Structures are given as structure tokens and as C-alpha cells.
Amino acid sequence: MNRFLFPALLAATALLLTACPQTSPPPVNPSECPVGPLEVQGEEPLRLQGFGQFAGEYVPGELLVLPKAGFSVQAWQAEGVEPLEALPRGLLRVKVPPGQEKARAQALLRAGAQYVQPNYIYRPLRVPNDPYYLGQKAYLNGLVGLEAAWDHSTGRDCPPLIAILDTGILPHEDVRESLYLPQAEKLDVADDDTDPTDRTDSPGHGLMVASVLGADTNNNLGMAGVTWGGYILPVKIFKDGATVTFTADITKGVNLARTLGARVINLSIGARNVSDPVLENAISQAQASGAVVVAAAGNDGGYGVHFPASLPSVIAVGAVDNAKVRARFSTYGPELDLVAPGVNVVGAGSGGGYAQGSGTSFASPVVAGVVALYMSKYASERRVWPTPDQVYQCLTGTAEDLGTQGRDHEYGFGLVRADRVMTDTTYCFP
């Protein structure tokens, strides 16, 4: 009987993030600090030439122009250009007919401008107010680019149903509002009952995975999830207190997720040297119904991605550290698709606290969360869900290439980049 091992996917023991006294930094010696006013340097002339890229979002009917010496405002007015404001370093903000920005920029170059570009629009990046986000920021934003992604979608517009097949979900105040618990449904497929909560001592694996993906976010409490709290469907595929699960229970879980309409299924489980047609068939059925399946690559650090992540239709996720280097425990091979942060990841812990853990178990829900953000934005804009093939093309096409150029065995297509996913017009929003 093939057993799907759970403990091996938790590469490092969770460390509780308690409030510990910290050593104070050494006092600053004023004699070693610069004093006095800033030394103001003379302004260097702008050396820009030609015109900028007319892409992204910019103010309709406005341009920023750097004129050559001896320019004539009258000549520009003949081109339908009206000066609005003088800016530092010789720039001018001008008004042109909306919709004709690029054409007028080219006309201005002919009429004596040195450089022209749009007046681009910038927006404040969304930063959640959860206290532990400061500890998550280095990998969630520094690696994955989530703050820019959240500015486009936090997953709450047309949120897809996200099924997490794992150990039972433990009670936690920061993973409560985002749960979807349909009445009378047997969400505990292993013990055949409606309660997906572990009722015996549990390492809290399912809770931590769920919180990484979709903790209740921007609630002034605890941590941030990749999504800001959508519809997370916890499906318990481990019996109470068990550390292994089996083909039969995982298959029941996948089938339940499919029948309840899950659009994303996360499997932070795996087994080496397994070929499991029964489970493969259940996953294929779920994908045919429109579900995207994301799975952890494995944590033995060896060659050959674990099953079911090794299936061609499943998005296989490995782990990197904050330096974008493959974690020593992260299993690799030709089946690997993407990598995501998986070292010292913050998550909700048993007993109501918070913990740090390392493993591809926690890299997988980062990718599943980005999938959910993309699906939410796509569906809200286009009123249709993207297909699993579209999702795969989007995430792999926008990944940050790491390691050997192109797809390789250690990093797959590269590091998942939520910021690129939300704005790409080639692979994601053609």
C-alpha cells in the first residue's frame, strides 16, 4: 500500500514566534555622525533623448517634454500642444488631445523637443496592517512582489474556491473568516464526518498551509496571507492524529473538492517512487472541471519530484530561501515547474499562536495563492474563469528565471512573480 508521507514535507520544526526580549542596539556615537546642512550639488542637465514607452497607465492628454535650447512655444501650439507647468530641470508638463499622446510626442520631437514621455500614473502599493507582515515582507514582497499584485487584486473580487487537502484545520482567530464550511458536507473524508478539525494532538500542518495561502488579512491581527481571505475549503484527508494518508482518502478529497466547485486545489503532500493511476484519474477529472492543482515537490533534497506533483498537469513547486537559492531540502528534477519562498515561512500555529516552518509544503500554498489572485482578477474583469492551461501559461511565462538560463531541473521556470502575473499582457491578460 502506498503511503503519502506528511512529516517529511515539514523540513524544519516550527518555532513559536513568542514575544522575546531583544538586545538593544548599541548607542550611536554623535562624534561619528555627519553634522550640518546637506551639501547641495548643482543640478546636472537631463540627458534624455527621444521619447518614452507609451505603455502602462498614464494621464490622458498630458505629456512631459524636455525642449531643446531655443524652443518656440508658438511652434508647439501649432501642433495642438498647450504648456501647463514648468517642472525642475527644464521639463515642461503640457496638454495634448486625449488619445493622441504618442502621435503628439512624435510631432513634438520634430518641432524641437529633446525628449517626450507620458505623465505616468502611480498608485500606493497595498500593504496589510497585520503585525507579523513585517517579518513576511522580505519574501512575500521582496521575492514574490505581492504588494504590487495586491494593488490589482487581493482575491476578494470573484474569489475562487480554494481546497486545501491536508491534516485537519485547527481553530485559530486569524484563519476563521476566510474558511468556507458548507453545512452537512463531510469535509473530513478520512474519518467520514462533517468536522474538518483535528480532535487530537496535531502538528498543525493543515492550519499552517491554510494560513500561508489565505489567512484573514488586513485585520490588524497576526499575519498576512497571499490572498486576503477568500473561500478556503479545508478538506481533512488524514485521520485524527495520523501522520500518513492513503490513495483512497486523497481521492475522496479531490472528488469532494471537484463536486463543491473548487477552482484551486493545494496538495502539500507527496510520495517518492509512486505511480498512482487512481489518484491521477481523480486529479484529471478535477482539472477537466476547471480546477488548477498545485502540489509540493518534496523535501528529501534528492532528484525526482514526488507524486502527485510529478504529474505533467500539476504545478510542481519547489522552495527557495530569501536569497533566491534552492533550499537544500527542496526536491528537484525535470518535473519541477516553479519555486517559491519556503524557508522560515510565517504561519498560524497550534494553540492560537504563530510559527515559522520550512518546506515545500509552504512554498506550494504561496503559488496556489498567486493562482487564486490571478483567477480572481481575470474572472472579475472578463466574467469567465481562466482554464488550467491558461493559468499554467501565465505563471510559468512570467516567472523570474533563476539558475541556468531557461527552464532547469533546480528551479523549473523560475520564481513565481505575482506582480508580473497581475500586469502581463502576453501570457496572462492577452
DSSP 163-203: EEEESPPPP-TTSSTTB---TT---BTTTTBS--S--S---
Burial class (CB in 10 A: 0-12, 13-18, 19+), 382: exposed
Give the model's pLDDT for residue 45. Answer: 72
Neighbours of 60 (CB within 10 A): 14
Give the model's pLDDT for residue 127. Answer: 81
* Best-predicted range by mean pLDDT (69-73, 231-235, 245-249, 269-273): 231-235
Instruction: Give φ, ψ of 328 to 5 degrees.
Output: -60, -25
- Residue 145: pLDDT band (50, 70, 90) is very high
**Chain Cα centroid distance, residue 304:** 25
Give the model's pLDDT for residue 28. Answer: 32
Say what the pTM is.
0.77
pLDDT of 5 above 80: no
Q: What's the CA gap between 289 and 287, in Å, rounded?
A: 5
SS3 242: coil
Neighbours of 11 (CB within 10 A): 22
**Per-chain mean pLDDT for the chain:** 86
* Direct distance between the N- and C-terminal alpha carbons of the chain, in angstroms, rounded to an integer: 46
Cβ contacts of residue 168 below 8 Å, gap of 6+? 188, 196, 197, 198, 199, 202, 206, 234, 236, 238, 240
Of 71-75, 79-83, 171-175, 265-269, the one with minimum mean pLDDT is: 71-75
Residue of 130, 152, 153, 166 marked active site? 166
Residue of 152, 205, 350, 419 marked active site? 205
Give the model's pLDDT for residue 12. Answer: 38
Sheet holding 50-51, edge to edge: 50-51, 113-120, 58-67, 92-95, 82-86
Residue of 153, 358, 361, 364 marked active site? 361
Burial class (CB in 10 A: 0-12, 13-18, 19+), 391: buried
| Domains within the chain, CATH numbers bracketed | 3-11+125-423 (3.40.50.200), 58-120 (3.30.70.80)
Give the model's pLDDT for residue 122. Answer: 62
Q: What is the DSSP string of 90-130?
A: G-EEEE--TT-HHHHHHHHHHTTEEEEEEEE---PPP----
pLDDT of 375 above 60: yes
Q: What's the CA gap between 285 and 179, in Å, rounded?
A: 24
In single-letter form, the type of residue at position 406 comes to G
Query: At CA 217, angle to CA 56 and CA 286, rounded to 5?
Result: 80
pLDDT of 249 above 70: yes
Residue 166 falls in the annotated catalytic set: yes
**Percent with pLDDT over 70 in the chain:** 87
**Percent with pLDDT over 90 in the chain:** 64
- Residue 24: pLDDT band (50, 70, 90) is very low
313-366 residue pLDDT tens: 999 999 999 999 999 999 999 999 999 999 999 999 988 899 999 999 999 999
300-318 residue pLDDT tens: 999 999 999 999 999 999 9
Higher pLDDT, 40 or 252: 252
What is the length of the chain? 430
Residue 289 falls in the annotated catalytic set: no
- Three-state SS for 59-71 is EEEEEEEEECCCC
183-219 residue pLDDT tens: 999 999 999 999 999 877 677 999 999 999 999 999 9
Residue 409 falls in the annotated catalytic set: no
- Residue 16: pLDDT band (50, 70, 90) is very low
pLDDT of 17 above 50: no
262-295 residue pLDDT tens: 999 999 999 988 888 889 989 999 999 999 999 9
In single-letter form, the type of residue at position 119 comes to N
- Residue 85: pLDDT band (50, 70, 90) is confident
382-420 residue pLDDT tens: 999 999 999 999 999 999 999 999 999 999 999 999 999
Kindly state the average pLDDT of the residues 17-41.
Answer: 33
Of 113-127, 144-158, 163-177, 192-206, the one with minimum mean pLDDT is: 113-127
Name residue, grid cell 512582489. Answer: 145
pLDDT of 133 above 60: yes
Kindly state the average pLDDT of the residues 129-149.
Answer: 93
